[in-house]
Amino acid sequence: MALPPSTANWHWKNKNITRWGTEWFERELANISITGDKEGQIASISKVTEVDGDIELGQRKSKLITIFDCKVVMKWEGTASDGTEVKGTLTIPEVSHEIICDQLSEFLYNWTLTTAASPEVDAVFTLARTRLPAVLEAKLATFPSAIIDTHGKDLTVSADPSRSATPSNAAATPVLPIASSSSSAPKPKAPEVGNVKGTTVVVQADFQASAADLYSLLTDEKRIPAWTRAPAKSEAQPGTEYSLFGGGVKGKYISLTPEKEIVQTWALQSPTWPSGHDATLTTSLTQGSDSTKVVFSLVGVPLGTEDEIKRNIEGY
């Protein structure tokens, strides 16, 4: 029996659209052109030569979320006031959701000039560097909406009877449904951690996704913002520090077993969390025939905060 739209749209789904995104950049950025103050001066993007990175569309709790982080390399060309043809390259090291949607940083532009320098050629180079970025950024700002307009229907189940049976694209991979705590989980005793009396919070759930995909979602710096909706730092190596929710949760990886287990220290940046106190979070993944069982075990949760922490873990 099909899930009602309100339930189906609550589950996490993910669709890789890197190929489509690459084609979008190649089509939409090529031939962007501006003119100079002197007659005959022109500068334009002639070709996109490389798009390196990942582009995805996710859905979580009925919200469509664009996920992308790419390096884009282009050729540019122009005409000087004396008729000289001018050529060079332009690399934008990062075109990402964080820059376009969250505005956490600004675009960087790496320019080269391959034509022999002259006053007229240099004037076109200056024209390209000063005026092309604004036009490029205006076009790039439309990329997230283009993703949703083109692919959103593949992830969203509509209440409209005419669309309720619309199949998802084969490339769409269902990932995280809402996590639910297990009523059968034993209530742990309250250990004392240092000078902080602590307890253990256990949350477990079955997810309609592979252990490999879940492991990646939980550790890959580029994919974590898909479910936290905030910047993340994660190298996913033992001994390295990580940061989630824009610094709301911080810690250090202790050990990682791909597709099996993640052990990390865990500290909530909140007035209710004792300063300098670290809990230990162990995330265990057990692959089943059509789903993966995930158990989150957080040891060292300060007494009195366990209900809040459990709600937070269940919510994400």
Write the CB contacts of 136 (distance below 8 Å, at least 6 apart in sequence): 29, 32, 45, 92, 107
Per-residue pLDDT for 142 more than 50?
A: yes
Helix (H) or strand (E) holding 5: helix 5-8
Q: Is the pLDDT of residue 157 over 50?
A: no
> Is the pLDDT assigned to residue 164 strictly greater than 90?
no
pLDDT tens profile 2-20: 444 443 434 567 889 999 9
CA proximity to 267, closest of 288, 281, 287, 285 = 281
Provide the whole-model pTM: 0.53
Domains of the chain: 5-151 (3.15.10.20), 175-315 (3.30.530.20)
Q: Does residue 62 or residue 139 have the better pLDDT?
A: 139
Give the C-alpha separation, 29 to 139, whole Å.
Answer: 7
Q: What percent of the chain has pLDDT over 70?
A: 82
| Residue 132 burial class via C-beta count within 10 angstroms: exposed 0-12, middle 13-18, buried 19 and up | buried
> Is residue 179 within 8 Å of residue 268, measured between CB atoms?
no
